[in-house]
Homo-oligomer: A and B are copies of this chain.
Amino acid sequence: MKKTLVELAALLNGTATEAAGIEITGITNIDDAGSGDITFAVPPHIEKAGKCGAAAVIIPDTTQSFPKPAIRVANPRMAFTTLLSLFTPKPDVSPGVHPAAVVSASAKLGANVAVMAHVVVDDNAVIGDNTILYPHTYIGRHAIVGSDTLIYPNVTIRENCQVGNRVIIQSGAVIGSDGFGFVTVGGKHQKVPQVGNVIIEDDVEIGANTCLDRATTGSTIVKQGTKIDNLVHLAHNVVVGENCFFVAQTGIAGSAKIGNNVTFAGQSGSAGHLTIGDNCVFAARSAPINDTPANSFCAGFPARPHREWLRSEAAVGRLPELIKKVRELEQRLAEVEK
């Protein structure tokens, strides 16, 4: 994909400010944008965008001066969304069942489904319209996969699990592995049957080699619009709200209930059986061990309010100096006491 700034401006009903002939080859957010990329900005990010690495920026038509090539439009967010679709390549896969795929006679495939080589769709599984199953993917018995969903190679979706529409599952992800449940009787760990499932709602993305355990009974649930990165672990009976982010290598223990719009940054985690309110943000490597009210911004382990964490981190840095000072005080006091 390659478009000049003026071509994009025409497409967006906007105005290219300058350098109309420069070529745009990619699209991304302000922080990641490099030469060739277009991004967008609205207040209060206009100034930052003016200094970013992007080739051009979509800005509000009310913005006065701007130091970079830009396209002025009425609604930069909406324009950006339009360009996202434009720059997103359509999957280059023809519909149809590859002769080396194995699809059970009792499975139901929608219209225009692509089942690539060496896929297995087991008994009574249901696959929605336009969905693409890449090679070496296993769809278990009675599993249901929605429409317009994209499942990359080597994915496992175990029996009875449900995957929504427009879901993307990256390679190696495991949906519906057994929860880690045991009861220890006489020193031996006896397996608790894990007979629930996983429900993934619409517009969710699941990262590479991420594991979502099935519920002991009932369902492990990921609600619509939530995006999960690579190597994340969600244990049995976790319920995740809408539009959350789980960044790479995060792990959520069993039965945690996570609200909407929550972010767990990289390598973070959560103890089990907690309730995390809407809009919480957990910094990288933090992990709550208690219920956390909505709108909290936490860091550290055990997670505490970010400001408090900063204060105690700073205090720890000053600790060697404090020890020295206390020793001096002691000597001066001894002197006075004499």
9 contacts between A and B (CB under 8 A): A31-B272, A32-B216, A88-B193, A89-B195, A138-B171, A311-B320, A312-B319, A315-B316, A322-B326
Check B186–A34 contact: CB distance below 8 A.
no
A235 / chain B contacts, CB cutoff of 8 Å = 248
State the CA gap A100–B99 with chains docked (Å).
11
Picked from B247, B267, B320, B337, the residue with its CB within 8 Å of the CB of A336 is B337
Report the minimal beta-carbon distance from A5 to chain B, rounded to whole angstroms: 16
Is A209 interfacial (CB-CB < 8 Å)?
Answer: yes
Check A209–B209 contact: CB distance below 8 A.
yes
Report the minimal beta-carbon distance from A125 to chain B, rounded to whole angstroms: 12
A167-189 Cβ-contact flags toward B at 8 Å (1 or 0): 01011101001101111011111
A138 / chain B contacts, CB cutoff of 8 Å = 134-136, 153-154, 171
Which of A77, A89, A217, A285 has the most chain B CB within a 10 Å cutoff?
A: A217
- A-side interface size class: 35 or more
A209 / chain B contacts, CB cutoff of 8 Å = 172, 174, 209, 211, 231
Check B251–A266 contact: CB distance below 8 A.
yes
Interface residues of A in 225-265 (CB under 8 A from B): 225, 227, 229-231, 233, 235-237, 243, 245, 247-249, 251, 253-255, 261
Is A111 interfacial (CB-CB < 8 Å)?
Answer: no
A172 / chain B contacts, CB cutoff of 8 Å = 154, 156, 172, 174, 177, 209, 211
Check B32–A237 contact: CB distance below 8 A.
yes
State the CA gap A100–B333 with chains docked (Å).
85
Picked from B31, B269, B317, the residue with its CB within 8 Å of the CB of A267 is B269
State the CA gap A227–B336 with chains docked (Å).
62
State the CA gap A236–B190 with chains docked (Å).
28
Report the minimal beta-carbon distance from A189 to chain B, rounded to whole angstroms: 5
10 extra interchain contacts, Cβ-Cβ under 8 A, other than A88-B191, A152-B177? A170-B178, A174-B209, A174-B230, A178-B205, A180-B247, A180-B248, A182-B227, A211-B248, A235-B248, A248-B251
A156 / chain B contacts, CB cutoff of 8 Å = 136, 152-154, 171-172, 208
State the CA gap A285–B302 with chains docked (Å).
10
Segment at the interface with B among A11-19, A66-74, A112-120: A112-120
Picked from B89, B287, B319, the residue with its CB within 8 Å of the CB of A193 is B89
State the CA gap A28–B178 with chains docked (Å).
13
State the CA gap A1–B190 with chains docked (Å).
19
A46 / chain B contacts, CB cutoff of 8 Å = none
* A192-B29 contact in complex given A120-B118, A136-B138, A319-B316, C-beta closer than 8 Å: yes
